A and B are shown apart, each in its own frame.
Chain A
Amino acid sequence: MSVTSENIISLNHVSKSYSGKKVLDDISFYVRKGEFVTLLGPSGCGKTTTLRLIAGFLSPDEGDILLDGKDISEIPPYRRPFNTVFQRYALFPHLDVYDNIAFGLKLQKLPSEEIDKRVRKVLKMVSMTDYEDRDVESLSGGQQQRVAIARALVNQPKILLLDEPLAALDLKMRKDMQIELKEMHRELGITFIYVTHDQEEALTLSDTIIVMNEGKIQQIGTPTDIYNEPKNSFVADFIGESNILNGKMIEDRKVEFVGHCFDCVDEGFGQNVDVDVVIRPEDIYIMNKLEGAQFSATVKSCTFKGVHYEMFVDTDKGYELMIQDYNAFEPGSTVGLLIRPSDIQVMKKERSCNSFEATVVDSTHVSFLSETFETEEQTRFPAGTKVLARVAFDKVDLTDHQEDGTIDGEVHFLLYKGDHYHLTVLTSEGEHIWVDTNDIWDKGDLVGVNIAKEDIHLCELQQ
């Protein structure tokens, strides 16, 4: 059975918080019958929470979950027609392989011949015939995985939920199991909802990928859509390798980045608008001669990666780019580069500077992010006025020691943009500050944040 147009399950505006922290923020998506859908994102993005909501181990704070159009929020997990393959398998250690698989069928009080028939059939499907009397703890990781899949599938669920099922296997085994899972999905026609943080796995297996980050859906699309047309810099960075650069849309079909102007295929951004540009490293043409090239660069490093070489180059205007090519280019040599219009992916910038809701304290102070900052003297806004405090990305100063900063925070996400880093700093209050810097920070670094008084610009709060 192939994917149909009929929705089997849909989540509408679902939110969930744990002890005050929002882990899912207004999630909506639907899954069609027979579809292989993957929830993809880094750890803590809310993908497992979403799966547990569907399985029924959690209930949503807001929003509803519909199965065949009917709300199932109140139905306990043991009455939902779904089965789960757990991350650590959760095979019952006191039962052998046969009894583990028969567990669900025995609860349904099926006749024993029927149970026997179905267990044997599913054992054959996962190539585990002859293992029925084995103690589950004597099995290898891959075998336990197969038993876990068999235990779920034998109940003929409407939806099979898989929570990072291959995460504990080694690379070779993971690749084999991916192929087998895909086969099973095709043969059985059951809807699969799959959770993983492995983008390659998601691209290989899925009909549809839902990319999540920080409790929000970033993009929903087919693997090719997600790879070729990432909606924002998070998706571009998370899926595959990419060069993410600041750019400016000069006019329709003309974009400027790395100090040069390029033809592209994007329209409708307006004129002279700041944008993010994504170039996949395999989409940059690299050659020894300069004629026919759009710009030149010097090769900095060249590493053999099996199928291709991975090179870092410094462009003539001082930007660093990653390039993948089948040919190696000598470090130190000058090369010509060319990017085709259709390989330039232009994305709207999510924001162009930090803006915080602030309250004026007096003529030289303003408070935001639960702290008071000094500003240049102003008389426009009287004390107590609610205003917007704007701070440019590159005017935020980070220090090594949290105690040296007005606010303390943690480097949460970082993006290399060719000539500088774009960091997301999460303050201890859970607010975001975006920073452009040339200094090298690592994810998880604890930092102090300072903002000079001349860099805080106050403006009216727009309603």
Chain B
Amino acid sequence: MNKRSSWALPYFIFLLLFVALPLILVMVYAFQDGSGHFTLSNITKFFSDSDALGTFALSLEVAVENTLICILLGYPAAWVLANKEYNRSAVTIVLFILPMWINALMRTLATTELFNMLGVTLGKGTLLYGMVYDYLPFMIYPIYNVLNKMDKSYAEAAQDLGATPWKVFWKVVLPLSMPGVASGVLMVFMPTVSTFAISEFLTNNKIKLFGTIIQENINSSMWNYGAALSLMMLIIIGITTMFQGKDKEVEGGMV
């Protein structure tokens, strides 16, 4: 090990202790019963538990819906923000990012109270509202980043070749901004699959998501089943990340 790479040692130890070890523990616990013997029963229990499977499916459904709504709302917002004709100041972008600086739990609680005050029945609608509200900035920012950095000569070249502004968008701007969209999808989809606080507060625990079940199991000391459920979620997240990994260049950029 040369001198320079030894600088990475503290980080490596940190990684080992706080990233690798917990993941290994999740794996180990998932394949053990309460007394520490190897078993597959936790996994088979999940696949035979219609409740858990139903929640799993619902979680995916909500995550997909949330991601789609975020794209539909976030893309136009990012486009307007990145367009110098409509937005000349960086302050507007900060305003869009600003809600992210407030604790998500506080925002969710405030939203719940707002719905209660207005007399809106809590349910799937309010759940989606809360999720979109929480995760929209994570969609806007990477798309904005890509659009903002995009060489405007591409759009000019398309116009020059006879494309109307609408065609310029469909044929050039949109395809070239896909890495940003992919980044946004990753940043919205993954946390929504595992969220539990939003569903707990915004549906008054009427709708349970997968994260809620994991939390309940672990809270009631069912460590092994909880770990098995976490493993399932990790697999889903792993698959999503692989989709992203195929994109040859990710210009999205995190917040």
Residues of A within 8 A of B (CB): 55, 57, 76-79, 82-84, 86, 88, 90-94, 103-104, 107-108, 151-152, 155
Q: Take A90-B151, A90-B153 as given contacts and tell me if A77 and B160 are in contact as well, using a CB distance cutoff of 8 Å.
A: yes
By the criterion CB–CB under 8 Å, are B162 and A94 in contact? no
Partner among A57, A79, A90, A107 whose Cβ is within 8 Å of the Cβ of B154: A90
Q: Take A90-B153, A94-B175, A94-B176 as given contacts and tell me if A55 and B161 are in contact as well, using a CB distance cutoff of 8 Å.
A: no
By the criterion CB–CB under 8 Å, are A76 and B160 in contact? no
By the criterion CB–CB under 8 Å, are B157 and A90 in contact? yes
* Interface 9-residue window, one of B12-20, B164-172, B203-211: B164-172
> Which residues of chain A are near B154, meaning CB under 8 Å?
90, 92
Q: Take A57-B156, A83-B160 as given contacts and tell me if A93 and B171 are in contact as well, using a CB distance cutoff of 8 Å.
A: no
Q: How far is the CA of A78 from the CA of B151 in the complex (A)?
A: 18
Partner among B157, B162, B171, B172 whose Cβ is within 8 Å of the Cβ of A86: B157
Q: How far is the CA of A151 from the CA of B162 in the complex (A)?
A: 12
Cβ of B160 to closest chain A Cβ, rounded Å: 5
Q: Top 7 A-B pairs ranked by shortest CB distance?
A: A104-B161, A90-B153, A90-B157, A94-B175, A107-B162, A77-B159, A84-B160
> Which residues of chain A are near B171, meaning CB under 8 Å?
103, 107
Q: B93 at the A/B interface (Cβ < 8 Å)? A: no
Q: How far is the CA of A55 from the CA of B151 in the complex (A)?
A: 18
Q: List the B residue with the shortest CB-CB distance to A76.
A: B159
Q: B43 at the A/B interface (Cβ < 8 Å)? A: no
Residues of B within 8 A of A (CB): 151, 153-154, 156-164, 167, 171-172, 175-176
By the criterion CB–CB under 8 Å, are B161 and A90 in contact? no
Q: How far is the CA of A249 from the CA of B17 in the complex (A)?
A: 90
> Which residues of chain A are near B157, meaning CB under 8 Å?
84, 86, 90-92
Q: How far is the CA of A86 from the CA of B160 in the complex (A)?
A: 10
By the criterion CB–CB under 8 Å, are A103 and B153 in contact? no
By the criterion CB–CB under 8 Å, are B156 and A78 in contact? no
Q: List the B residue with the shortest CB-CB distance to A104.
A: B161
Q: List the B residue with the shortest CB-CB distance to A83.
A: B160
> Which residues of chain A are near B161, meaning CB under 8 Å?
78, 83, 103-104, 107, 151-152, 155
By the criterion CB–CB under 8 Å, are A108 and B162 in contact? yes
Q: List the A residue with the shortest CB-CB distance to B156.
A: A57
Q: Take A88-B153, A107-B167 as given contacts and tell me if A93 and B159 are in contact as well, using a CB distance cutoff of 8 Å.
A: no
> Which residues of chain B are near A155, meaning CB under 8 Å?
161-162
> Which residues of chain B are near A90, meaning CB under 8 Å?
151, 153-154, 156-157
Q: How far is the CA of A71 from the CA of B154 in the complex (A)?
A: 27
Q: Take A90-B151, A92-B154 as given contacts and tell me if A78 and B159 are in contact as well, using a CB distance cutoff of 8 Å.
A: yes
Q: How far is the CA of A330 from the CA of B157 in the complex (A)?
A: 56
Q: Take A103-B161, A104-B161, A107-B162 as given contacts and tell me if A93 and B156 are in contact as well, using a CB distance cutoff of 8 Å.
A: no
Partner among B151, B158, B160 whose Cβ is within 8 Å of the Cβ of A88: B151
Cβ of B222 to closest chain A Cβ, rounded Å: 49
Q: List the A residue with the shortest CB-CB distance to B174.
A: A94
Q: List 29 A-B contacts (CB under 8 A).
A: A55-B160, A57-B156, A57-B159, A78-B159, A78-B160, A78-B161, A78-B162, A79-B162, A83-B161, A84-B156, A84-B160, A86-B157, A88-B151, A90-B151, A90-B157, A91-B157, A92-B158, A92-B172, A92-B176, A94-B176, A103-B158, A103-B161, A103-B163, A107-B161, A107-B167, A108-B162, A151-B161, A152-B161, A155-B161
Q: How far is the CA of A286 from the CA of B172 in the complex (A)?
A: 61
Known contacts A92-B176, A151-B161; 20 additional CB pairs below 8 A are A55-B160, A77-B156, A77-B160, A78-B161, A78-B162, A84-B157, A86-B156, A86-B157, A90-B154, A90-B156, A92-B158, A94-B176, A103-B158, A104-B161, A104-B162, A107-B161, A107-B167, A108-B162, A155-B161, A155-B162
Q: Take A90-B151, A92-B172, A94-B176 as given contacts and tell me if A107 and B163 are in contact as well, using a CB distance cutoff of 8 Å.
A: yes
Q: How far is the CA of A151 from the CA of B153 in the complex (A)?
A: 14
> Which residues of chain B are near A83, meaning CB under 8 Å?
160-161
Cβ of B116 to closest chain A Cβ, rounded Å: 48
Q: List the A residue with the shortest CB-CB distance to B152.
A: A90
Q: List the A residue with the shortest CB-CB distance to B157.
A: A90
> Which residues of chain B are near A108, meaning CB under 8 Å?
162
Q: How far is the CA of A90 from the CA of B152 in the complex (A)?
A: 9
Q: List the A residue with the shortest CB-CB distance to B168.
A: A78
Q: List the A residue with the shortest CB-CB distance to B178.
A: A94
Q: Take A94-B175, A103-B158, A103-B171 as given contacts and tell me if A78 and B153 are in contact as well, using a CB distance cutoff of 8 Å.
A: no
> Which residues of chain A are near B163, meaning CB under 8 Å?
78, 103, 107
Partner among A57, A78, A88, A94 whose Cβ is within 8 Å of the Cβ of B164: A78
